[in-house]
Amino acid sequence: MCGIIGFVGEEQAAPIILSSLENLEYRGYDSAGIATISDGKICLKKDVGHLEEVQQKHHLDELPGVLGIGHVRWATHGGVTANNAHPHLDCSGNIAVVHNGIIENYRELRSRLKSKHNFISQTDTEVIPHLLEDYLNDGASLEEGVIRVTKQLQGSYAFVAIYSREPGKIVAARQGNSLIVGLADGRKFIASDSLSFLKMTDQAIFVEDGEIVVATKDKVRFFNQDSLELEKSPGKIDWKWDEATKQGYDSFTLKEILEEPETARRALMQDKNLVMDMALGILRARQVVFIGCGTSRYAALLGRYVFSKFGGGFSPVIIASEYPYFSESIDSNTLVMAVSQSGETADILEAVRAAKRKSATIFSIVNRVDSSLARMSNKVLYLNCGPEIGVVATKSFVAQLIIFYLLGFAIGNKLDEGLDKLAAAPSWIAGNHRENGKGLIKLAWKLRKRKDFYYIARGTNFHIAGEAALKLKEIAYVHADGMPAGELKHGSLALIEKGTPVIAICPEDYTFHETLSNVEEAKARGAFVIGVSDRREDVFDKWIKIPKVEEIFYPLVSIVPLQLFAYHSAIARGLDPDKPRNLAKSVTVK
C-alpha cells in the first residue's frame, strides 16, 4: 500500500513528481524516492522518512530529466531501510521500477534469478526490474518486457517502469491495485490516485486489471496481455484539487472533523429513486451481508441495527478479511453491502470478487467515485464527502451513518420523513463542535499521560464506543477498548484502578439507566468517568454534552466529540495526527 506516480512531459519531471507524491503520501510515508532519465542514464534518489524529510536531505526535485517515476512507501516486505525504498533498479542500473501491491511468488522468482542477478533489497518488488532486465537484454522493447513480466507475477500489483535506453516512455501494468492515467497536452501521468495529478488535469482514464499502459508526452496507448491494443476514452474527475489541501488548517484530520456539518449536508444529497431502488433490493434479498474494515465496519454495524429497526431483517456484518471463512453461505440470492471510504481496500475487493463469483449482488457505499469497488458494484451510493486525506476516518464515518439512516428510512418506506429529520444533522454537528471544542482540549491535556482507556456503551451506542476507541488507538497510540457496558463486570473491571479513564456513551435513550449502573460499578473501583450524554449525572467527573435527538440518531452526535478528543489527545502527546506511525490511509494489501 504505497503511492506510485510516473510522469512524462516537456518540462523538468522531478518537481512535478515531488508535488504529485505530496498528494499520495496518505498511502504511505515511511520512505520516498524518485528516479528520472537524463543523458541516457537513470538518476535516482531515495531514503527513509517522510517525503519532506527525504526532500530536505536529498533535494529530490533537482533530479534532471523530463520523465520519471516516484514512490511513497508503506513497508510490507522488508524493513524501513534506504535499500528497501523505491524505485528499485536492475543490475545494470538502466531500468527503474516503482510498485504498489504484493508479488506473492517473489521468493520463487528471486531464487530463480539470484544466480545471475544481484539483489540489494528485501522487497518483493525487486524481482520486477531483474525480470525486465533479462527480457530487455534479449531485445524486447520496454512494453514487450512489461507484458512478459506480468505473465510471471502472481499477486497484486500496479507498477511503473522506465528504461534509460527508451528515454521518452513510461510503461505501467495493473493487476488488483489502482492505476489511473492523467492526460494533459504534452504531459502524461500514471498514478495510484487521480489526486496526484488533479491540480494539472482532470482528464483521466482508469486502467483495468490485466492492462498495460505505454505513455509518451503526446500519447497514451493501452494493451492487454496478448499485446492487443485497446480503445479507451478519457473521463472527467469530479473532485477539485484544492479539496485535497489543508486550506489553512493545522492538519487534515482537524479540517475533516470540522467539515462534518457540510459532510452531513452532502451525504443527504442522494438520488431518491436510487435510494428507494436499493431499499427494495435489500428487502427482496434472501439475506443481506455487510462487509467492511476498520471504521467502515463500525458504520456497517450501525447499518445492521438501522436495517433491523426498519424491517430489513437481521444481517450479519463480516470483517472483510474474514469473509473467506463464511463464503459457503453466499449465493445468488445474497446481497452484499460493501462499505468503504476508499473503495480500494484489498480485503474488501477480495471479498467482493469472491461474492461475485458466487453470483451475489453487490451494493456499495463508497466515497471514491473512481474506485475499484464502485466499478465492481451493481449499485452504489456515494458519500459525497470529498477527499479524506487524514489517515483516520472521520468525516467519512459521519457520511456513512447518514447513508445508512437514509436506507433505513427507505426500507420503512419513509424516505421523505428521514430526509426531513436528518436535515437538522448539520446543525447538531456544528453545535457539538462549538459546545465541546475547548473542554475537549483541556480533557486531552489532563489525560495525556494515561495509557489505558475504556469506552463503554450499550445497544447502538456500543458501536460508537468501538469506533471512538479505534480513533484514540490510531492517532494517540494509546490502548483503548470499546466494549458493551454490560461486559465490563465479566472481566475488564479487573483493570480499572484509581484514575483509569472510562468514557461512557450514555445518551438518555433506552440504554441510559443500565449503562449508568455499569458506570457506577467502574466509579466504585476508582475510574475517572467521562459521560457522553445529553443529561448530566453526578457520577460523571467530566460531562461531554451532546444534543438531545431522536434515539436512533444518538450515534451520529456521540461520535463527533470523541473524534475531536482523539485528535486533541494526539496533539497533547506531541504526535502528528495526519500520519500515525505504521498506518496508511488506503490498505491495498491483504
Catalytic residues: 2, 585
User: How many binding residues for ligand M6R (CB under 6 A)?
Assistant: 15
Q: How far apart are CA 504 and CA 511, in angstroms?
A: 11
Q: Is 474 in the site for ligand M6R (CB under 6 A)?
A: yes
Q: With respect to ligand M6R, which residue has the nearer C-beta, 320 or 488?
A: 320
HSE toward the beta carbon, residue 61, CA cutoff 13 A: 12
Residue 281: all three cell numbers together = 433490493
Whether the CB-CB separation of 388 and 395 falls below 8 Å is answered with yes
- Is there binding between residue 587 and ligand M6R (CB under 6 A)? yes
Nearest residue (CB) to ligand M6R, 389 versus 532: 389
Give residue number: closest CB to ligand M6R.
294
Does residue 253 belong to the site contacting ligand M6R (CB under 6 A)? no
The number of residues making up the chain comes to 590
Residue 391 in the binding site for ligand M6R (CB under 6 A): yes
Question: Which of the ranges 121-129, 190-198, 228-236, 287-295 carries the binding residues for ligand M6R, by CB under 6 A?
Answer: 287-295
User: Which of residues 97, 383, 393, 399 is near ligand M6R by CB under 6 A?
Assistant: 393
Beta carbon of residue 471, minimum distance to ligand M6R (angstroms, whole number): 6
Say if residues 146 and 173 touch (Cβ distance below 8 Å). yes
From the list 78-86, 157-165, 288-296, 428-436, the region that binds ligand M6R by CB under 6 A is 288-296
Q: How far is the CB of 322 from ligand M6R (least distance, A)?
A: 14
Closest to ligand M6R by CB, 200 or 348: 348
In the shown chain, the binding pattern of residues 348 to 387 toward ligand M6R, with x for contact by CB under 6 A and - for none, equals x---------------------------------------
Buried b (16+ CB within 10 A) or exposed e, 15-35: ebbbbbbbbbbbbbbbbbbbb
> Which part of the chain contacts ligand M6R (CB under 6 A), choosing from 81-89, 101-109, 236-244, 341-349?
341-349
Nearer to ligand M6R, 68 or 294 (CB): 294
- What angle, 0 to 180 degrees and rounded to 10, lies between the N-to-C axes of helices 272-284 and 415-422? 120
340 binds ligand M6R (CB under 6 A): yes
Q: Find the shortest distance in angstroms from Cβ 342 to ligand M6R.
A: 3
Closest approach, Cβ 567 to ligand M6R, in A, equals 12
- Coil, helix or strand at residue 258: helix
Q: Is residue 341 close enough to count as binding ligand M6R by CB under 6 A? A: yes
342 touches ligand M6R by CB under 6 A: yes
How far is Cα 518 from Cα 512, in angstroms, rounded to an integer?
A: 10
Exposed / middle / buried, residue 118 (Cβ in 10 Å: 0-12, 13-18, 19+): exposed
- The bridge status of strand 170-175 relative to strand 155-163 is antiparallel
* Residue 8 CB, nearest approach to ligand M6R (Å): 30
Q: Is 464 in the site for ligand M6R (CB under 6 A)?
A: no
C-beta of 60 vs 470, nearer to ligand M6R: 470
> Which grid coordinates belong to 383?
458519500
* Contact yes or no for 24/72 (Cβ under 8 A): yes
Which residue, 348 or 360, is less far from ligand M6R as judged by CB?
A: 348
Q: CB 394 → ligand M6R: shortest distance, Å?
A: 8
Q: Are 98 and 160 a contacting pair, CB within 8 Å? A: yes
In the chain the first and final C-alpha atoms are separated, in Å, by 10
Residue 384 backbone zone (phi > 0: left; psi -120 to 50: alpha; other: beta): left
Residues 290-319, interacting with ligand M6R (CB under 6 A):
293-296
C-alpha angle 397/378/415, rounded to 5°? Answer: 55
Segment near ligand M6R (CB under 6 A), from 201-209, 217-225, 339-347, 554-562? 339-347
C-alpha distances in angstroms, 295 versus 106, 325, 397, 512? 32, 21, 7, 25
- How many Å apart are CA 289 and CA 304, to the nearest integer? 9
Binding marks (x or -) toward ligand M6R, 420..459, rule CB under 6 A?
----------------------------------------
CB of 400 to ligand M6R, least distance (A): 8
Q: Which residues contact 398 (CB under 8 A, 6 or more apart)?
A: 260, 263, 264, 267, 385, 429, 556, 559, 560
- Closest distance to ligand M6R from the beta carbon of 372 (Å): 11
Report the C-alpha gap between 187 and 197 in whole angstroms: 10
Residues in contact with ligand M6R by CB under 6 A are 293-296, 340-342, 345, 348, 391-393, 470, 474, 587
